[in-house]
Amino acid sequence: MSQRTEIAALGEFGLIRHLTDRLEIKNKSTVVGVGDDAAVLNYENKEVLVTTDLLLEGIHFDLTYVPMKHLGYKSAVVNFSDIYAMNGRPKQITVSIGISKRFSVEDLDDFYAGLKLACDVYGVDIAGGDTSASLTGLCISITCIGEGEKGKVVLRSGAKDTDLICVSGDLGAAFMGLQLLEREKKIYKGEKDFEPDFSGKEYLLERQLKPEARKDIIDELQKAHIVPSSMIDISDGLSSELLHISKESNVGCRIFEDRIPVDYQTAMMAEQFNMNLITAALNGGEDYELLFTVPLSDYDKVSEMKGVKIIGHITKPELGCYLEGRDGGEIELKAQGWNSLNE
């Protein structure tokens, strides 16, 4: 039987020391990290970017099928993705968690192992945080601080008529991974010796349980000397994110069904679930790909970028936001991505 150490055995401050005593500072901008009343950061001549994310058990994640280490990794990465979506670089996070008595010190060790792994992969420092008791399950709040070059931070509000609409990677896989996990959970509830069937679907599971932020795309844009006119990460679904850009930039858009990138496993899973594949790609969310616009003059550069696809163009606001189907018909885009407040 695996060891279980009650959190009460360490106390709040003992737990914080236990979880953070082996952290190493990676960034010059982290002057003082964990261990004082506040972190001390020095960004010199950079723009400072700050984002925060709240994750609640039963709303944003289900511990029936989400391992604690994966949860730690994902909790960090979704914040890094927001900083990359501003054309910035994440540098520090603060981590606050609310925990109930059903969690042990070993559970939190696993969670922090995932956090630390993500921070090692992306070169980010854990600079502080807090712990508290919770009566409603596990609560996670992460704030990420990043830096951007002056004049090169990208907002949602800069898209212009005729700009190209580009997306990284492929869409809908994380949503299909979630459907697969939920299906197996329902079967598991009715069986004692249950073995979930995930063979051949590893990519979908990884996209849901261990997503990656697209630092590589930011690197490629920098190498190509491209500063997008607008950018956003795809957390709530392509359709919702396009509408955010359109609203903030006061523009319309046209995207084309046959240009939306979809992985083979995603297509096969949609067929198994009898779901419309493009609906899943438009509305699924949690892909954490980058959606961005560039001027038409950057067409040659962006066409040569590995892992990026041009899926449409920006139009005048009065033309609205539409998907053009393979048959030439048009469907108005609607914000149908996941919304926790509607649950």
pLDDT digits (tens, 9 = 90+) for 147-156: 999 999 999 9
| Predicted pLDDT of residue 343 | 47
pLDDT digits (tens, 9 = 90+) for 185-214: 877 665 555 566 677 899 999 999 999 999
Nearest to 299 by CA among 163, 154, 99, 183: 163
Phi (first) and psi of residue 317, to 5 degrees: -60, -35
| Predicted pLDDT of residue 340 | 46
The residue ranges of the chain whose pLDDT is under 50 are 338, 340-341, 343
| Predicted pLDDT of residue 341 | 41
Strand partners, 132: 98
pTM of the shown model: 0.90
In angstroms, the CA 75 to CA 63 distance is 14
| Predicted pLDDT of residue 88 | 96
In angstroms, the CA 252 to CA 260 distance is 18
Domains of the chain with bracketed CATH: 7-148 (3.30.1330.10), 164-342 (3.90.650.10)
